[in-house]
Each structure stands twice: as C-alpha cells, then as structure tokens.
Chains A and B, each alone.
Chain A
Amino acid sequence: MKKLVGYRKYHPGTQPAYNYPPYRSTQKRCPTQPLVIAPQTLSEITGPVFGWDDVKEGDNDLTRQHKGDPIGERIIVSGRVLDENGRAVPDTLVEIWQANAAGRYPHKTDQHNAPLDRNFSGAGRTVTDKEGRYRFVTIRPGEYPWRNHHNAWRPAHIHFSLFGQAFLTRMVTQMYFPGDPLLPYDPMFTCIENEAARNRLVSVFDWESTIPEQALGYRFDIVLRGREETPMEKMP
C-alpha cells in the first residue's frame, strides 16, 4: 500500500453544531457524549464511487420529467465542486431535491396547504466533469412554513447531496437564493457561525449562464473537505 493522504478537519465555525436549540428538533437528535476522536484509516479515505453509468441523460433537467411544463420560473443552477485546497472534484455524484414553485413537496408527510404540480417531482442528479462542473435545469422553489417556532418559514432552497472522493468528504447541504429576506430568520442558515462559510450556501445570480428568453442562471459552488497534504503530481 502507498502512504495514505488524509483529510484536514473542517475549519472551526464552518460546520453546524449537533445541538443547535434554535432548530428545535436537534435537541433530541444530537449525541450527548463527546464524539470519539479516531484516526483516518483506509476505510474512511476511500468511499463509494459513482459515475455516468449511475445516471441517465436528462436526470439533470427537472423541467422535462413529465408530459407538461412545471409551473414556475425556469432557472439554471450550475457551479463547481471544489475542495478546501481549491482543487476541482471531478466525476462525483450530485443529487438534488426541492419543493415546487408553490413551496410544496410531493411527499406524504408534507401537508402544507399549497398546490402540488403534476409536472414537477423535484428530484435530479448528475455527475461532475473533469473540472468539477455540474449543471441542472429546474424551477425556482417556493418558500414554505414549518413548525419550528411561531411564524417560521423556510427560505427558498434546494437540497444538495455529494459524495466526493472519500467517506470523509460526504456532504449534504442546501443552496439558498441571493437577497432572500427570510435568511436571517432561518435557523438552518444561521447555524453556520463563520460568515464566509454561511454565505457560501447562498447562490449568486449568474448573467453568463442565463439563457436569453429562457431561464435565469444561478451559480452555486460547493466546497468539500480538502487533503491534509497536497498529493504529489506527476511531473510532465
């Protein structure tokens, strides 16, 4: 075996605490004993490998999954998956899910009094290219109420699930929209202490990926854990 190169611990303040009382449900679902510090072994430095064989063409277009067009504003969500060293994370699976334009999920436990859209299921996936780029076509999700506290509303968001290159790089996160007035009231957003890391979850309007007369573009880059040391590159 070659010497293994591990992953750096997340920078302090960039990750939420397990117990974050403003998000009420965390209190009964967080460990009460300290986590046991353990070494990174071959088991953690490796992780499941997915690729283009696992997705179908069109899986990244949420507006073309049914006979008709979904209601709502078409958008392009694209960006790069990088690590903390600024390196691209290529060939990695990206899964997304979201509410429809009215803020409703087609899920049996979502009882919000807003219409379902028979032309929108709200799930997609793709694989990053060699430069770590991904792209989805979807509709802008609606805000919706939840029962965490009085008058609680989730800002518009898209859930993202990523694997990266190791068990250690697994990440589930959410993408928000720029200028959303609900963000400062949302405990899921405010749970990230570090301002730069928190704002990394907010996409930016992207004129360059906007398609004239078709769809607005939003850019959302995702940063996964980076390696402890830079692996040796082969010299040309």
Chain B
Amino acid sequence: MSLFASGNQTVGPYLHIGLNWLITRDVAGKGIKGERTAIAGRLVDGDGVGVSDGMIEIWQANAEGRYAHPEDTQKKPLESGWRGFARVFTDSKGEFRFTTIKPGRVPAPDGSLQAPHLVASVFMRGMLKHLCTRIYFPGDAANHDDPVLRLVPPARRGTLIAKRAGKSALEWNVILQGRNETVFFDL
C-alpha cells in the first residue's frame, strides 16, 4: 500500500498556544552525566531581522553516545531520566537559549563514528516546512573527518559549528539567508 504523505504546513504566528506546554530549556536534568554547556543564539531572516515567532527543537544522544530510542541498540549506558530533547521559542529579538551536555559520538552508516553533534529542527511563521540542521562543538578533533560535515562545502561548514562564548557557553545562530547562511539538510 502506498499513501501520499500529508503536506507540512507552517506553525503560524500563534504556535506558542499549542506548543508551549512542552517547552524544555534544559536537555539534561539532575543526575545526568556529561560536560554541561549553554547554547544560545539568534534566528535571523533575510533582512537581518530577528524572527520573533520561531521555535527550535533539539534531539541528541547522551554523553556516552546513546539515544533514548528503541532503534538505538548499542550496548552503552542510558540514564533513566534521559530523553535528549529540547524545545525553545525565540523571543522578540529572535534570540533563543537552552542548556545541555555535550553528547558522545554515535555511529555513522559506514561503521565509523560521527563527531559529537545535536540535530535541530527549525520552525517559524512564514516557513511551510521545518528546516533540519546540526550543531557541532568547536575544537573537537573529530569534526575533521565527520561524514556529514565532509559533505558540506568547506566555506559553509563553520555555520554548523558553535562558537565559544565564555566558560560553558556556546553561540550558534540560524541565518536563513545571505552571508553565512546556515547549512540545512535534505534528509
């Protein structure tokens, strides 16, 4: 049996009404192991203006490199309180912030290991289907041979790698258009 998929539609300007209840600013609660960091940034449109009606969702593995999902069958520890999900909205300036731990390395399809990364979905009014991107960690030696980063033109890879912004703080922006336009993936 083959069905046509439903079409994606924009979240519209009133997304908060339905989605606010699941706001999750801290991926890693008490008792979760790992190197803690805040990740903050700005979601910016083609005029350089902050998007005030946007939402970012994060999905990531724990510090061991294990996802809280039945299809991750790796024999690595998984804390009972670990989900690996964040949902944050942008504010009136387009800014967002969440805290998490740096994930461990997870396998790539060819059997090698990927560099530590988060995957992100970006939603907003004026966007009919969400965009998918990744956040990598600055200075991680594994970034050099990450199988996904390697597919990105070298000049654009930097848009996927967060910048240090103080102790335990990273900056990562989503630039929708123009110079330093963020890399988005067709998956």
Contacts and interface: CB of A to CB of B under 8 A. Distances in A.
> Do A and B belong to a common assembly?
yes
A106 B18 CA distance: 11
A121 B17 contact: yes
B176 to A, nearest CB: 6
A182 interface: no
Given A4-B71, A46-B69, A170-B121, A123 B21 contact: yes
Interface in A25-57: 25-49, 54
Interface string A190-232: 0110101110110000000000000000000011111000000
A1 B110 CA distance: 12
Interface residues of A, number: 82
B8 A16 contact: yes
Contacts of B74: 1
Interface string A95-113: 1111100000111011000
B71 A46 contact: yes
Interface string B112-144: 001001010101111111111000000000000
Given A43-B59, A43-B114, A35 B177 contact: no
Contact of B6 (A46, A105, A122, A171): A171
B175 to A, nearest CB: 10
B7 A47 contact: no
B17 A201 contact: no
Nearest to B117: A43
Contacts of B172: none
B80 interface: no
A10 B7 CA distance: 9
Contacts of A105: 14, 17
B128 A41 contact: no
Interface of B is mostly: loop
Most-contacted residue by chain A among B6, B117, B124, B147 (CB, 10 A): B6
Nearest to B1: A86
Most-contacted residue by chain B among A23, A31, A45, A188 (CB, 10 A): A31
Interface residues of B, number: 75
A182 to B, nearest CB: 15
A106 B8 contact: no
A76 interface: no
Contact of A109 (B14, B45, B182): B14
B88 interface: no
B176 A123 contact: no
A43 B61 contact: yes
Contact of B126 (A10, A23, A33, A49): A23
A88 to B, nearest CB: 12
B152 interface: yes
A16 B7 contact: yes
Interface of A: 1-2, 4, 10-11, 14-18, 20, 23, 25-49, 54, 82-86, 95-99, 105-107, 109-110, 121-125, 159, 161, 166-168, 170-174, 188, 191-192, 194, 196-198, 200-201, 222-226
28 contacts: A2-B71, A14-B4, A14-B7, A23-B10, A26-B126, A29-B126, A30-B127, A33-B183, A38-B187, A43-B117, A44-B119, A44-B187, A105-B14, A110-B13, A121-B17, A125-B18, A159-B12, A161-B18, A167-B121, A170-B121, A194-B4, A197-B6, A197-B7, A200-B5, A200-B6, A201-B9, A223-B4, A223-B6
Q: Which 6 A-B pairs have the closest CB atoms?
A: A97-B18, A25-B126, A86-B1, A46-B69, A16-B128, A28-B46
